[in-house]
Structure 1
Amino acid sequence: MSSVSSSSESRAGRKEWMGLGLLVLPAMLLFMMLTILFLAIPYMAADLAPSSTQTLWILDVYGFLMAGFLVLMGTVADRVGHRNLLMIGAAAFGVLSVVAAATDDPALMIVWRAALGVAAAAQMPATLGLIFTMFRDAKQRGVAIGTWAAAISAGVAIGPLLSGLLLEAFTWRATFLVAVPVMAVVLIGSPLLLPRHHGAGAGKLDLFSALLLLATLLPLTYGIKSIAMGEPVLVSLLAVAASLAFGAWFVVRQLHSSEPLLDVRLFSNRTVSGALGVFILAATGLGGVYLMFTQFLQLVRGLSPVETGLAILPAALVLIAVATLSPVLARRVRPGYVIATGLAIQVVGYLLFTQIGATTSLPLLIVSFIVLYPAVAPSMALTTDLVVGSVPPEKAGAAGGLSSTVNDLGISLGVAIVGSIGVARYRSEIDGALPSGLPAAAESAARDNLDGAVAAAEKLPAEMGAALLRASREAFAGGLNAGAAVAAGIAAAGAIVAAVMLRHVPPTGAASATPEPDEQAAETVAAEGPGTKN
């Protein structure tokens, strides 16, 4: 009788579920801010006139800073309290959003986007930590974590759609200001619905490790972009070498720390390393192509923001449906195979994108994106649960934070890597295609990026402006083709990783499934957890 009573007391009630509703708001918004500028960037470029390199930094520095500080902020949350840090982060994010919206300098915009990334990092571990506090029952906690993960995926998906609506009614500055009312709701609702909670044993505040992680990410990004932009190879290679050195230092420091900032030993768990590897590959391939496709629709096909949002909408709706069905399918089919199939379909979508030209019909563009975009849904829907479910309960919070970090990192790497390749191909193709007699200023603007070419064409005589637009749009289509080809290779690698490294994970409905002998041996040597999802 007492065990039944205890079980009943551990189950969450209406207040906890309302609290979950509050927690998914910042989770959705913070990941939405990774993609919300995809449609806004042409309008921002027209006002701020950033270089192509500055444009990429504006887009991806938010994700890199968020990823770099996520794990550190988990330790801070244990010290100051998860609810307190959530509110501090929400207040900072709201203020910084207003400041960024008022900025007219591209360099300062990069600074404020970076600061927003740190404020976002303060909130994400707090949301997950509070979920673990509020939901003690394992089944309810699984539903809550699934809802939280779905909100993150939805945020990434709806960012450009919301941006299109905002741009139709307001300016690009509204894409920042939309965060203010959400953060106000978080600040008002947190004391009413969320418990006070401090970590049972607040770990060491290892700021140096967080800086090492940033020193790994940022030089790598700089090196990749420099190579793509045709800057001196030696400087680019030195940046990449520095990144690798800092990365090695970071790993060694974590392995020798009694309280590591990031428990890299979790990667010895086959399921954790496989799921996170798959997800970072899937997100990296998609991030850059998604950005270029939204620019293509606006700057090449001439769609308005709302028309662009409507063109993306069918694929987004299919993605939501596939994300909903993926966990159901994973009850009968091994999750690794479900994810691998999705990524294989995504490869087909990327290959369709390699055939897109400046005059490709809009229906064909929409159909190609419907093939490409929803195919990432299985990896989005299943990997977080695989990661969290494959480690002991005391490691679940760290595993969830690791999953969020990889999500940030993948999309930002996609913008950096695939986006830089697209810019490099654009510059290569535009060089031999510019009409003769262009003014020096127009030629320089057109060589830098498509935004500059469009702005320059408006100031030229009609015939010369039309020739410049044709050349720049064809060059941008070539950039999209090149980026899609690289993304196809990345997605193919992800499909192989999923099929090989996650094949031991049984269908989620097969709770009593017994691993094969070789699978048991593989999991026995794993340093953490059972290694399979039960």
Structure 2
Amino acid sequence: MDTRIPDEAPARAGRREWLGLAVLALPTLLVSVDMSVLFLAVPHLTQDLQASSTQQLWIADVYPFMIAGFLVTMGTLGDRIGRRKLLLIGGACFGAASLLAAFSTSAEMLIVARALLGISGATLAPSTMALLSNMFKNEKERGTAVAVWSSCFMFGGILGPIVGGLMLSWFWWGSVFLLAIPVMALLLIVGPSLLPEYRAPDAGRLDLPSVALSLLAIIPFIYGIKAYARDGLSAAAGVTVLVGVVFGVLFVRRQLRLDDPLLDLGLFKIGVYRSVVLLGFLVGIMMSGTLLLVNLHLQMVEGLSTRAAGFWLVPGVIATLAAISVTPKLGSTFRPAHVMAAGLLVTAAGCVVLSLVPGTDGLAVIVTALVLINVGLAPMVALGYNMVLGAVPPEKAGSASALSEANGEFGLAAGIAIMGSIATAVYHSGLSLPAGLPADVAAAARENIATAMEAARQVTGPMADGLIASAREAFTTGLNVVGIVGAVMFTALAMLTAHWFRHVPPTRDSEPEPEPDTAEAPA
């Protein structure tokens, strides 16, 4: 007879942990909101600060650049000095930078403030996610906590333009940054009593050359891809991407030589972790470009304002929140592989609907497609993050979380370039210009739908109507083709997901005995 005493089940979370989750959810939401809160404020601040077109781009882009560049560093730093400590430091800096941004008196000052917001924001996301692994030891409860965290992260991007529009209805453009002040004040007041501290035992020193190499790899690479997506292929875009790749190779080589690296590449030997990271990268590629095209379609084809377009995205967000809320229950009943694969098939169905969007009056079709796409992605996001936290050693949770999120930034940037290029090629081939159109107007119309709409103002009558109709039809065809590509890709990802995670059991009330890590993904 087996007389072994079974291991005690992990302690269930109490009131303190659930209140702590609410505290962690707010900065997570805020970091995501700040990605898009400036969409409506740019015209106002441009006029007030006399910002040039180049300065406008940097005001918008420097924040995500800094977040992407510093994610790996901050995730590892939190493991070394303490995750709560880094979170509180980052929260204080985020609040101070928000004040600086709100009361900026020049474009240069606002660019600096946005850069500081990005650096401090990079401390928040990996710290909040890693702390979940310390607060929720029970696997099912951790799944619920991760679902709440991921809901906030996904909801913030859509909430940004809506909140920005409401604030601008009553206040000046700088008010959009003041939202951070009460949130960060609450974090600093109650965080020390509700959040646990954790730092990795025997943590080594931060390798500053590795920090520099990571920044020189990530920021130029993402900048080059975004420049390509915005302006097309150019020498500047190609050179910056190449610079990023070269420094990326140097960074990897240094990590392999160090006894205590900034980024532990050994994490990729964990099959579940490797598979989740790869899946997140591929989904990011598909979704970022698709959502960009949908936003453009709502404004350029359907003729909606930025604020109205943001409101029409809300049904998809509500559907996402509903799907994420039931995902932990599904994950405890069925294997994650089955739940995630089924979700990706729903997303594929949404892409099929997207391929049917008509050139006129397609709003209902687009909203239906977005609801299906977002509902299908919810299990992958919630269960994927939970599997990351469950698969990696506790002392590596911060760096593992940061790498997962940085990988997502790479996917988003690459997706805008890849999906945007496909849609642009279809737009060029499908555009039919009216006869007699002036050469300069025709040249502008061929670039993209935004310049075509602007060029149509230079002509009148049937010629303008014909140009607008042709541009809208060509752009919609490009969106339809991207929908077909998405349907094929998400179907393939569903099959890969069912294979990669087939050995991962449903979540339980207690931690299972360690099992061989047999999840598969390309090395």
TM range (shorter): 0.7 to 0.9
Q: Cα–Cα, structure 1 residues 86 and 462, in superposed 2: closer, same or farther, change >3 Å?
A: farther
Q: In the alignment, which residue of structure 1 is the partner of 2:494? A: 495
Deviates more, 1:387-396 or 1:334-343: 387-396
Match runs of 1:143-222 below 5 Å = 143-156=144-157, 158-163=159-164, 165-166=166-167, 175-190=176-191, 193-194=194-195, 200-222=201-223
Match runs of 1:513-524 below 5 Å = 520=516, 522=518
Q: Cα–Cα, structure 1 residues 378 and 522, in superposed 2: closer, same or farther, change >3 Å?
A: closer
1:501-534 superposed Cα distances (whole Å, 9 cap, x missing partner): 111212225979899xxx948479x99xxxxxxx
- 2:273 aligned partner, one-letter code: V
CA deviation after TM superposition for structure 1 residue 385, in Å:
0.8
Q: In the alignment, which residue of structure 1 is the partner of 2:294? A: 293
Q: Cα–Cα, structure 1 residues 521 and 255, in superposed 2: closer, same or farther, change >3 Å?
A: same
Q: Cα–Cα, structure 1 residues 257 and 482, in superposed 2: closer, same or farther, change >3 Å?
A: farther
CA deviation after TM superposition for structure 1 residue 39, in Å:
7.0
Task: Check conservation: 2:76, 2:263, Cα contact below 8 A.
Answer: no
1:133-173 superposed Cα distances (whole Å, 9 cap, x missing partner): 55677776665445434432333454455456556666776
Instruction: Structure 2: state its 5+ residue gaps.
Output: 1-7
Q: Equivalent residue of 2:35, what SS?
A: coil
1:54-107 superposed Cα distances (whole Å, 9 cap, x missing partner): 988766654343233123113444566544433442343334445556779989
- 1:278 aligned partner, one-letter code: L
Task: Check conservation: 2:130, 2:401, Cα contact below 8 A.
Answer: no
Separation of aligned partners in 2, 1:473 and 1:90:
44
Q: In the alignment, which residue of structure 2 is the partner of 1:473? A: 472
Match runs of 1:117-128 below 5 Å = 117-128=118-129
> Is 1:19–2:20 an aligned residue pair?
yes
CA deviation after TM superposition for structure 1 residue 246, in Å:
2.8
Q: In the alignment, which residue of structure 2 is the partner of 1:258? A: 259
Separation of aligned partners in 2, 1:199 and 1:521:
23
1:181-237 superposed Cα distances (whole Å, 9 cap, x missing partner): 433433444456456666544432223323333333344445545655675677655
Q: In the alignment, which residue of structure 2 is the partner of 1:319? A: 320
Task: Check conservation: 1:228, 1:423, Cα contact below 8 A.
Answer: no
Q: Equivalent residue of 1:254, what SS?
A: helix
Q: In the alignment, which residue of structure 1 is the partner of 2:349? A: 348
Separation of aligned partners in 2, 1:513 and 1:419:
44
Separation of aligned partners in 2, 1:76 and 1:512:
28
Match runs of 1:351-362 below 5 Å = 351-362=352-363
- 2:304 aligned partner, one-letter code: L
Separation of aligned partners in 1, 2:174 and 2:354:
31
Q: Equivalent residue of 1:330, what SS?
A: helix
CA deviation after TM superposition for structure 1 residue 46, in Å:
10
CA deviation after TM superposition for structure 1 residue 287, in Å:
1.9
Q: In the alignment, which residue of structure 1 is the partner of 2:395? A: 394
Q: Cα–Cα, structure 1 residues 387 and 277, in superposed 2: closer, same or farther, change >3 Å?
A: same
Match runs of 1:364-379 below 5 Å = 364-379=365-380
Task: Check conservation: 1:225, 1:417, Cα contact below 8 A.
Answer: no
Separation of aligned partners in 1, 2:276 and 2:476:
33
Q: Equivalent residue of 1:205, what SS?
A: coil
Q: In the alignment, which residue of structure 1 is the partner of 2:4? A: none
Q: In the alignment, which residue of structure 1 is the partner of 2:94? A: 93
TM-score (norm 1): 0.78
- 2:433 aligned partner, one-letter code: A
Separation of aligned partners in 2, 1:416 and 1:463:
34
Separation of aligned partners in 2, 1:466 and 1:352:
28
Q: Cα–Cα, structure 1 residues 163 and 225, in superposed 2: closer, same or farther, change >3 Å?
A: same
Task: Check conservation: 1:97, 1:180, Cα contact below 8 A.
Answer: yes
Task: Check conservation: 1:59, 1:415, Cα contact below 8 A.
Answer: no
Match runs of 1:38-77 below 5 Å = 62-77=63-78
Instruction: Structure 1: state its 5+ residue gaps.
Output: 1-6, 528-534
Q: Equivalent residue of 1:258, what SS?
A: coil
Q: Equivalent residue of 2:260, what SS?
A: coil
1:408-438 superposed Cα distances (whole Å, 9 cap, x missing partner): 44334434443455456556656x5377455
Alignment coverage as a number of residue pairs: 515
CA deviation after TM superposition for structure 1 residue 277, in Å:
1.3
Separation of aligned partners in 1, 2:161 and 2:361:
22
Q: Equivalent residue of 2:332, what SS?
A: coil
Task: Check conservation: 1:38, 1:291, Cα contact below 8 A.
Answer: no
Separation of aligned partners in 1, 2:373 and 2:456:
32
